[in-house]
């Protein structure tokens, strides 16, 4: 805004004086002083415009207002109050600029200086005995009216700028508060990330400890199988029976390798090696390991179809999945019972393979059943379980695009229902 005013002030008055000279309008007394002051003010306006363009706003405004104040006083001193009536709109503009660009103090100083210039102009007109205002009273009334009008303008500018500055100060304070709040929030986020990183590290350490305990627990089962096969082979004098015992040792060792692979999967997220195989054949191959796993008082039943049931799965993981559920069933039947493995084609459920593993153990309450697949959740005494087995089973089934559900009631046993996608039979 100020730059536009300065450009107009620097260009229009010289053009007006040039028109006056070209047209030959008679020259009035005192106009030479007005011409000099006007051209000087125009030159100062251009200079101030250049200063503002170079980023020196306050210097340009303050020197401009100082020179304007001097020019106004010289104009009233040289030409009187009556000759400067037509300059009042321009002088009001200087009041507004002083209030907008410098501040409240500059506004009221400019107003006081203008009133003083009015008084000097009245004194000049009375001394020169101007006919249009031959009495001191007429001059005094005119000057008082003009001073009152300027007062109204000064009050409006003062209160408006005070309100704007208060709003600006409030906005600045709010911005500072928001910046400080943002800084605190950033610090809190950084602290939370640091604490979360420490918590995750602690959870990893705890998980590795629990997983190591679980791996040791699973290896104890497999070592029991190996020892049982070895003892059977040592007691048998039949080479065929000894061969079966050696096959059992080999099978248990293979499952031990699968457990170590599970540990690698936990730490490195290794991918399973899926293949298409007959689930019936895989379950029949597990007769001996399951017999070794369960207490002799537990009866194991197989309900398998006569025709093959092909699935696409990691076979080692499939056997480990059955062993995990069987191990939980064994703990649920300390006084004996029955464990049933049922496999069938579930065409009514959409070309799925249905694997149901049920026991007649003590069952689970609703609160335990709801959390049975949570990692590290276990109802076993310390040192006898980690709660990772069923969580791993669920992950294996879900990763194969299947689903697993559990049904259980206290005193009535538990059924794990596994549904896997049925695949075309392998050649």
Phi-psi region for residue 403, left (φ > 0), alpha (ψ -120 to 50) or beta?
A: beta
Question: Residues near 104 by Cβ (< 8 Å), separated by ≥ 6?
Answer: 158, 161, 162
Q: What is the pTM of this model?
A: 0.42
**Cα-based angle 252, 256, 260 (whole degrees, multiple of 5):** 170
Q: Are 330 and 370 in contact (CB under 8 A)?
A: no
pLDDT classification of 25: cutoffs 50, 70, 90: confident
Rg (CA), the chain: 50
Lowest mean pLDDT among 314-328, 344-358, 381-395, 410-424: 381-395
Over residues 218-255, the pLDDT tens digits come to: 677 777 778 887 887 777 777 777 788 788 788 778 77
Q: Which of 396 and 263 is assigned the larger pLDDT?
A: 396
Q: Which of 91 and 337 is assigned the larger pLDDT?
A: 337
Q: Are 9 and 93 in contact (CB under 8 A)?
A: no
Q: Which residue has the tokens 């179809």?
A: 305
CATH architecture of 271-421: 2-Layer Sandwich (3.30)
Q: Which of 167 and 31 is assigned the larger pLDDT?
A: 167
**Domain ranges, ordered by start, for the chain:** 2-134, 271-421
pLDDT at 134 over 90: no
């Amino acid at each position: 805004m100020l730059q536009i005013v300065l450009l107009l002030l620097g260009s229009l008055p010289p053009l007006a004086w040039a028109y006056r000279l070209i047209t030959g309008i008679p020259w009035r007394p005192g106009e030479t002083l007005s011409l000099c002051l006007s051209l000087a003010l125009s030159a100062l306006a251009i200079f101030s415009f250049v200063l503002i363009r170079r980023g020196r706003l306050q210097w340009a405004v303050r020197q401009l207002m100082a020179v304007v104040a001097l020019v106004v006083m010289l104009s009233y001193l040289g030409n009187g109050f009556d000759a400067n009536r037509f300059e009042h709109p321009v002088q009001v503009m200087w009041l507004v600029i002083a209030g907008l660009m410098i501040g409240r103090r500059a506004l009221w100083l400019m107003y006081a200086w203008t009133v003083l210039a009015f008084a000097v102009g009245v004194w000049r007109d009375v001394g020169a005995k101007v006919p249009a205002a031959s009495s001191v009273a007429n001059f005094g009334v005119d000057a008082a009216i003009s001073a009152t009008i300027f007062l109204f303008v000064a009050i409006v500018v003062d209160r408006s700028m005070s309100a704007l500055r208060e709003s600006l100060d409030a906005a600045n304070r709010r911005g500072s508060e928001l910046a400080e709040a943002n800084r605190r929030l950033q610090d809190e986020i950084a602290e939370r990330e640091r604490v979360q990183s420490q918590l995750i590290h602690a959870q990893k350490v705890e998980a590795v400890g629990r997983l190591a305990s679980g791996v040791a627990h699973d290896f104890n089962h497999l070592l029991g199988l190996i020892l049982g096969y070895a003892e059977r082979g040592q007691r048998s004098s039949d080479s065929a029976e000894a061969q079966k015992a050696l096959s059992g040792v080999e099978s248990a060792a293979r499952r031990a390798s699968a457990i170590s692979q599970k540990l690698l999967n936990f730490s490195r997220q290794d991918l399973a090696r899926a293949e298409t195989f007959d689930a019936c054949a895989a379950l029949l191959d597990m007769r001996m390991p399951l017999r070794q796993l369960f207490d002799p008082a537990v009866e194991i039943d197989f309900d398998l179809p006569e025709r093959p049931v092909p699935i696409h799965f990691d076979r080692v993981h499939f056997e480990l999945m059955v062993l995990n559920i069987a191990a939980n069933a064994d703990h649920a039947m300390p006084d004996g019972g029955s464990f049933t493995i049922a496999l069938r084609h579930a065409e009514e459920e959409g070309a799925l393979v249905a694997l149901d593993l049920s026991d007649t153990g003590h069952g689970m309450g609703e609160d335990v059943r709801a959390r049975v697949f949570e990692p590290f959740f276990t109802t076993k005494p310390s040192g006898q379980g980690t709660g990772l087995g069923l969580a791993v089973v669920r992950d294996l089934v879900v990763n194969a695009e299947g689903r697993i559900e559990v049904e259980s009631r206290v005193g009535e046993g538990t059924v794990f229902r596994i549904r896997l996608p049925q695949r075309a039979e392998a050649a």
